[in-house]
Each structure stands twice: as structure tokens, then as C-alpha cells.
């Protein structure tokens, strides 16, 4: 069973602090991690490979050269192969242009029976790359997968967590799935895994390998453009209540509830 | 290059959401927003309804701003199938050529819209909280929170059509219904588009309270300050009194005190209720990103320096096991009177 896992390197949001004056995020000195949901995708890939008795797990990522760290982490966790798609021409890509590169890389390195990815990344939070890649490759896909079971050599049954509960779907391979954190518990890298990852030679490819038209790459190939960034200051005039004034605070909450017709 | 103002406006598509044959309220919210944009662009609004059997009148969105309804009924649309809905939507977009497409950022919309964007080769901006027409260029200005919700990014789609956005439910208000007229059309869709490689294998409806916290006016969330899982019952009691639901911080979900559907924040749900109450939650950036657009925020915490107080309208500093029961009693008294 050949499985590809799409990973993204993201800022470690646990390290992000708020600037109390400006109300903005302080991102300087913040480390980078593998997108947490991609860890669940990788864990699922490794479990499916174990269940199949044979197979190969390839992790793919598009990003700047330092994305290598996330791929090495994936190797330490048990991935067999890693491909870093890096090229100055890829920089500034929106979800469409990112998906274009990932889809082409999958087309060139595949075929894969299954492609897995986290439902969304903690930085962009769009959740769009998985479905876009699937559509570009004309693969059946499913999203919000919180449980999966390979029910036959050719089919996988997934549980999607949606607003009203769970929806179950059956897909045949090849297909693409994006997963949620309750799918599994990502394991920790072993010492042997870490050792292997340090020495592992990652494959790197730029656009000379993919050969996509230049006008479809990166910022210039992106249909969407960020035209403005603003920092909305949280303007709430906080009323503080403590100690003997808590009763007043409770009255204030009740008044607010009545104001909004919630009580 | 041709600017939007010189192009003939070709209309706005609002992709409705059908749930079990009913028109979901987000459809009307987006139809209302579509009407505002259409007024600025001088074009029409078409609300698209794709479903199995319709239990509501498909003409309903007309009163909220639609000029036309494109209704497609097909047995294969009874259950959500991302492959079929993406293909049919892409077909309607290619036939009608709208310049703007608005869709719900529900699990359904966030699943099939990216596939539509790939099929029609255009951009898609997720989870927009603001939509406007640029008066100079006529382009759609899509504003969405970025980097954990502390930065707002405004995004344009200058050269690709349509300009597509998804919008979370409850971002925009349903306008007051008006006595408007419009037409309901049933466009022909080639039968082969209703085929899918995905097999629906059933639904399991979860009755559990709180799984739908995004749809509620009141969300009472708890954090590690609750000290033990049982304390969530206290929050449930308060939430029940206000017809609300219970949310949770990531650490409590990770500690398995409460299931994931309750999680509020960057890696959970983004909620924007009328009242959000954070109890025993310090207010990590990751949590704030999921609730700071609530209309009113009340925070209960024993630490006067807790970051959650900085985004709160009312900060109650003290022991939550003292404050919450007092609040419950006070609300019960209010309800009796």
C-alpha cells in the first residue's frame, strides 16, 4: 500500500504571545512545528501500512528550505520517504497555487493508493488544499475524517464528524482524506527514529522537476491576493469586579443578558 | 486590462445549504449579504438550492433578497456527497457565469467549495467575516481573520472568475423578509454529473448537547480552572438556564474531560454567540481566536492577570466555584419573577 501524506510546517502557536499594548501576536522567535493535524494523518498512514503488512509512506511538503525540519520529524516518526517541494517561484502561493504544485508532485511521484492530510493547518486555517488537490487529480475525497477502517483491499470506510453528528462514507482507492485530531493519538519519535532522521537524505524538487507553467506558480499564479492587513484592536471596555463587588458584577451580567433578550 | 466597473456585472450566486430537505438559515444570511453586494454592483442575486426532496418552499430566499432561485432536485442529493455537489455546482457556475459566489463555511461548504474552485480554476477565500465591493474597481473585497484571528487580511481575486468566498454561519444577520418577487427555475443538469465514486454509508445523529455550539446564542466554556471533569455539570446547568451550550478549552479536551465537539479555539470551533462566558480559562491565543468576536464576553477567573480579561466586557475575578453558583441562583430568581 503506497500512501502519501501532505504536511505543512506552521508556527508553534503555543509559543505565540499577545502584545498586551497593541493586541497583536508576537511572532518573533517562535519555533516551527509540523501542523498538528498532519501528525494525525501521518499516524493513520503508518497504522494502515502496518495493517497492510507492506507498503510505503511518503511525506510531501511545499515550503521554504527550513520545511526540511518537519519532514525529518516525519521520518523520525516512521515515514519511509520525504519530498520537499521548494523553489523561490513557489513562494506566496495561495491554496490554489499550492494545490497545483502538490497535485503535480503526486502525479509525478505516484501512483499512491491513498493520500492523507490534516483537515486544516493552524496558520491559514482554510482546509482547502486537501480537496483542491483531490479535484485537480480527479480523485474521490473525504474530509473531517475522525475514524477510518480499511474494509477490503480496495475500499476504506470513513466517519466524518459534521455539525449534526457522524456521516459514514465508503471510498475506493485511490482517494484522498483529510483528518481530524480525534482520529488517533500521534506517537512520539523513538530514539532510533530520530537517529535515522538525522542522517536521512531528503529528496528536494523545484519547478524544474515539476515543469509547471511559470504563470501558475507562487504569488503570480495565485488567483487571490492579500491587498490589506489590518490589526483590529480589541476594543472592549472591560468592567472589572472582584471581592465584595462580585455581586455587582453578577448584576451586570444579568443586565447584559436582559439587554440581549437572552433572559 | 478591463476593470470590473467596465465589465457587465454578471450576477451573484449564493450557494444555499440544505439539511434534511430544509433550507438552513445560513442560506438566508448569505442571500441577504448577496443582496447588499448586488445593490453596490447593480446585478442580480441567484440562490442555488441543491437537494433531494424539498420540505421548505424553494422560493423562500426570494423574500430575503434573491431575484432567482436555481433549484435542483435529485435523489442522489439526499445525502451530502461532495463529488456530486461539486460537479453540479461547477456546471451551474460554468453555465451561468456569476462574478461572485458566496457559500456557507459549514463542513459541507468547506468540503466541496475547494473542489469547485479547482474545477473552475479560480480562487477561494475561506471564512470571510466581511464582504464589500471596492467602489473603484468593482471587485469583491473579502476580509478574513488570519494568523489566529489577531490580524484581518483583505483579499481580492483580480483576474479569475468567479470570486468565491465561504462564510461561517451567523457571521451576517438574516435581513427582515420583504414582499419581493422572483422566479424559481429548475435548470437542466446532465444526468452523468449525479454519479459518484463515494458511497454514503449512513448517518449517526448526535443528540448530545454542545455539539452544535456554533449555532447557539449562549456558550459557556470551561477550562482547566474547573479542576475536574465533573465541574462541567455546573456549566451545563448555567447553559441550560440560558438555552445555551457548553464549550471547552483545548487542555480540557486533551485531558478527555469533555469530547472534542465542544472545543473552542484555533484547533476547535470558532464561535460568535451573543454571550460567551469563559470560566476558568486563562485565555491562550489559541482560545481567543475562537471566541473573541462574540458580542458580549464574560470571563470568570481567579487570576487578575489572566489574558482572557483583556478581551472581556465583564471580568469577574474570584473563585469560580463561588461565582458560578451565585450567578445560577440569580438567574433562577430572575426567571421566577
The C-alpha of B177 sits at a distance from chain A's nearest C-alpha, in angstroms, of 21
The model's pLDDT over B264-277, given as tens digits with 9 standing for 90+, comes to 987 778 888 999 99
Task: Provide the 3-class DSSP secondary structure of residue A25.
Answer: strand
Which of B133, B166, B194 corresponds to the end of one domain?
Answer: B194
Work out the minimum CA distance from B12 to partner chain A, whole angstroms: 18
CA B91/CA B49 separation, integer angstroms? 14
CATH number of the structural domain spanning residue B159? 3.40.50.620
Question: Is there a single domain that holds both residue B112 and residue B163?
Answer: yes
* Other Cβ atoms within 10 Å of B3 Cβ, number: 12
Closest partner CB to B155 (pick from A224, A231, A249): A224
Supply the pLDDT for residue B142.
Answer: 97
In chain A, what residues touch B295 (CB-CB under 8 Å)? 260
Q: How far apart are CA A196 and CA A75, in angstroms?
A: 8
Query: Which of B107, B258, B290, B331 is best to mutate for the A interface (most A CBs within 10 A)?
Result: B107
- Counted domains in chain B: 2
Cα distance from N-terminal residue to C-terminal residue, chain A: 57
Asked if A223 and B157 come within 8 Å (Cβ–Cβ), the reply is: yes
Of A20, A229, A243, the CB nearest to B153: A229
B175 and B229 belong to one structural domain: no
Query: Is the domain of B170 the same as that of B232?
Result: no
- Our CA-based measurement puts residue B28 at a distance from the nearest CA of chain A, in whole angstroms, of 18
Show residues of chain A in contact with B288, CB under 8 Å: 18
- What's the gap in Å between the CA of A146 and the closest CA on chain B? 10
Whether residue A234 contacts residue B311, with contact meaning beta carbons closer than 8 Å, is answered with yes
Look up residue A201 and give its three cell numbers: 537524505
- Using the structure block, give the residue that is written with the C-alpha cell 473579502: B142
CA distance B183 to chain A (A): 31
| SS3 assignment, position A164 | coil
Contact A253 B323 (CB under 8 A): no
Alpha helices for B75-106 (secondary structure H): 82-96
**Contact: A223, B160; criterion CB under 8 Å:** yes
Q: Cβ distance B238 to A254 under 8 Å?
A: no
Q: What is the pLDDT of residue B145?
A: 80
pLDDT score of B3? 55
Same domain assignment for residues B166 and B258: no
Nearest Cβ partner of B334 from A142, A181, A263?
Answer: A263
Tell me the C-alpha to C-alpha distance, in Å, between residue A206 and each of A13, A216, B45, B140, B202: 29, 14, 43, 33, 43
B330, B250: one domain = yes
Contact A18 B288 (CB under 8 A): yes
At residue B173, the pLDDT reads 85
CB neighbours (10 Å) of residue B106? 20
What is the interface pTM, i.e. ipTM, of the complex? 0.91
Positions in chain B short of pLDDT 50: 1-2, 209
Chain B residues with CB inside 8 Å of A258's CB? 334
End-to-end CA distance of chain B: give it in Å, rounded.
67
Residue B329's CATH number:
3.40.50.1220
Q: Which of B159, B194, B229 is the last residue of a domain?
A: B194
Q: Which domain holds residue B76?
A: 12-194
> Is residue B2 included in any domain, yes or no?
no
Residue A233 pLDDT: 62
Considering the domain boundaries, does residue B27 fall inside one? Answer: yes
- Residue B164 inside a domain? The answer is yes
Instruction: Give the pLDDT of chain A (263 residues) as one tens digit per residue.
Output: 999 999 999 988 666 665 655 555 566 667 899 999 999 999 999 999 999 999 999 999 999 999 999 999 999 999 999 999 999 999 999 999 999 999 999 999 999 999 999 999 988 889 999 999 999 999 999 999 999 999 999 999 999 999 888 999 999 999 999 999 889 999 999 999 999 999 999 999 999 999 999 999 999 999 999 998 887 666 688 999 999 999 999 999 999 999 999 98
Same domain flag for B85 and B156: yes
According to the 3-state scheme, what is the secondary structure of B204-266?
A: EECCCCCCCHHHCCEEEEECHHHCCHHHHHHHHHHHHHCCCEEEECHHHHHCCCCCHHHEECC
Q: A125 and B127 in contact by Cβ < 8 A?
A: yes
Residue B254's nearest CA partner among B245, B267, B244, B235 is: B267
B205 interaction partners in chain A (CB closer than 8 Å): 164-165
| B225 in the same domain as B149 | no
Amino acid at each position: 500500500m503506497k500512501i502519501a501524506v501532505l504536511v505543512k510546517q506552521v508556527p508553534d502557536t503555543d509559543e505565540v504571545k499577545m502584545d498586551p499594548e497593541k493586541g497583536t501576536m508576537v511572532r518573533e522567535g517562535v519555533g516551527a512545528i509540523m501542523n498538528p493535524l498532519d501528525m494525525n494523518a501521518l499516524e493513520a498512514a503508518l497504522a494502515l501500512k502496518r495493517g497492510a503488512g507492506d507498503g510505503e509512506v511518503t511525506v510531501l511538503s511545499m515550503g521554504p528550505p527550513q520545511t526540511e525540519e518537519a519532514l525529518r520529524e516525519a521520518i523520525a516518526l516512521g515515514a519511509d520517504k520525504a519530498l520537499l517541494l521548494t523553489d523561490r517561484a513557489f513562494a506566496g502561493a495561495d491554496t490554489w497555487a499550492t494545490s497545483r504544485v502538490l497535485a503535480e508532485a503526486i502525479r509525478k511521484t505516484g501512483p499512491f493508493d491513498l493520500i492523507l492530510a490534516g483537515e486544516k493547518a493552524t496558520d491559514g486555517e482554510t482546509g482547502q488544499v486537501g480537496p483542491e488537490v483531490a479535484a485537480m487529480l480527479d480523485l474521490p475525497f473525504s474530509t473531517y475524517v475522525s475514524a477510518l477502517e480499511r474494509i477490503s483491499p480496495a475500499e476504506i470506510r470513513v466517519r466524518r464528524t459534521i455539525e449534526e453528528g457522524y456521516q459514514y462514507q465508503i471510498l475506493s482507492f485511490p482517494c484522498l482524506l483529510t483528518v481530524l485530531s480525534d482520529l488517533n493519538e500521534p506517537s512520539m519519535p523513538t530514539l532510533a527514529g530520530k537517529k535515522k532522521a538525522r542522517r536521512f537524505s531528503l529528496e528536494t524538487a523545484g519547478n524544474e522537476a515539476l515543469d509547471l507553467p511559470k504563470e501558475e506558480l507562487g504569488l503570480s499564479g495565485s488567483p487571490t491576493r492579500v491587498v490589506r492587513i489590518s490589526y483590529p484592536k480589541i476594543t472592549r471596555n472591560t468592567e472589572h469586579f472582584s471581592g465584595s463587588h462580585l455581586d455587582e458584577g453578577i448584576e451586570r451580567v444579568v443586565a447584559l443578558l436582559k439587554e440581549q433578550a437572552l433572559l | 486590462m478591463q476593470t470590473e466597473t467596465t465589465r457587465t456585472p454578471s450576477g451573484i450566486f449564493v450557494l444555499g445549504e440544505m439539511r434534511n430537505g430544509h433550507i438552513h438559515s445560513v442560506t438566508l444570511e448569505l442571500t441577504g449579504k448577496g443582496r447588499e453586494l448586488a445593490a453596490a454592483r447593480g446585478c442580480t442575486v441567484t440562490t442555488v438550492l441543491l437537494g433531494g426532496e424539498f420540505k421548505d418552499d424553494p422560493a423562500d430566499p426570494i423574500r430575503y433578497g434573491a431575484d432567482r432561485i436555481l433549484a435542483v432536485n435529485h435523489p442522489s442529493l439526499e445525502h451530502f456527497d461532495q463529488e456530486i455537489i461539486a460537479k453540479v455546482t461547477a456546471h451551474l457556475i460554468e453555465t451561468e457565469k456569476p462574478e461572485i459566489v458566496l457559500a456557507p463555511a459549514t463542513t459541507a461548504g468547506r468540503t466541496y467549495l475547494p473542489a469547485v474552485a479547482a474545477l473552475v480554476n479560480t480562487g477561494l477565500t475561506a471564512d470571510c467575516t466581511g464582504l464589500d465591493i471596492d467602489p473603484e474597481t468593482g471587485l469583491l473585497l473579502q476580509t478574513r481573520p488570519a494568523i489566529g484571528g489577531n490580524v484581518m487580511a483583505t483579499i481580492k481575486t483580480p483576474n479569475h472568475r468567479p470570486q468565491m468566498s465561504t462564510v461561517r454561519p451567523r457571521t451576517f444577520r438574516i435581513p427582515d423578509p420583504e414582499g419581493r418577487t422572483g422566479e424559481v427555475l429548475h435548470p437542466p443538469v446532465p444526468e452523468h454529473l449525479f454519479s459518484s465514486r463515494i458511497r454514503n454509508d449512513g448517518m449517526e445523529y448526535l443528540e448530545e448537547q454542545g455539539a452544535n455550539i456554533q449555532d447557539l446564542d449562549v456558550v459557556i466554556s470551561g477550562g482547566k480552572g474547573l479542576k475536574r471533569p465533573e465541574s462541567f455539570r455546573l456549566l451545563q446547568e448555567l447553559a441550560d438556564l440560558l438555552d445555551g451550550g457548553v464549550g471547552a478549552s483545548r487542555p480540557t479536551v486533551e485531558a478527555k474531560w469533555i469530547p472534542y465537539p465542544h472545543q473552542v479555539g484555533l484547533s476547535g470551533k470558532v464561535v460568535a454567540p451573543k454571550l460567551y462566558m469563559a470560566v476558568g480559562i486563562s485565555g491562550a491565543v489559541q482560545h481567543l481566536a475562537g471566541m473573541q468576536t462574540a458580542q458580549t464576553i464574560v470571563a470568570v477567573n481567579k487570576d487578575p492577570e489572566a489574558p482572557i480579561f483583556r478581551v472581556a466586557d465583564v471580568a469577574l475575578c474570584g473563585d469560580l466555584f463561588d461565582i458560578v453558583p451565585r450567578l445560577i441562583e440569580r438567574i433562577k430568581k430572575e426567571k421566577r419573577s
